[in-house]
Amino acid sequence: MPIITTHELNAIQQKLKSAEENYALARLLGTPEGFFQHYFKILPSSRTQIEAFNDVNDQYFEIFGDWRYSDYNSFRLCCKNYKSKK
């Protein structure tokens, strides 16, 4: 049975933590509500609304291989509808 060093164990734990974070983000971004929630969460630390949108849409693309919204204007219209339903 091979022995795992502390360094290897730490690397495995880091990969596991990263995978868990990616899974949680995928579950969040997988719904329109979650996409909006994440957008509003990162909005204060973004320079512009478009930058925040692009960051979230890029994260969505990294996970799912497609864009949730084709551009900022389509997102903005959906976001307006989302906020009016609340």
| Alpha carbon distance 51, 24 (integer Å) | 22
Tens-digit pLDDT profile for residues 2-19 = 788 999 999 999 999 999
Give yes or no for a contact between 68 and 33, defined as CB atoms under 8 angstroms apart.
no
Residue 63 has pLDDT above 70, yes or no: yes
Q: Distances from the Cα of 15 to the Cαs of 1, 7, 20, in angstroms? A: 22, 12, 9
Inside any domain, residue 1: no
**80 within domain boundaries:** yes
Residue 57, in any domain of the structure: yes
> What's this model's pTM, rounded to 2 decimal places?
0.80
Domain range spanning residue 68?
Answer: 6-85
**86 pLDDT tier (thresholds 50, 70, 90):** low
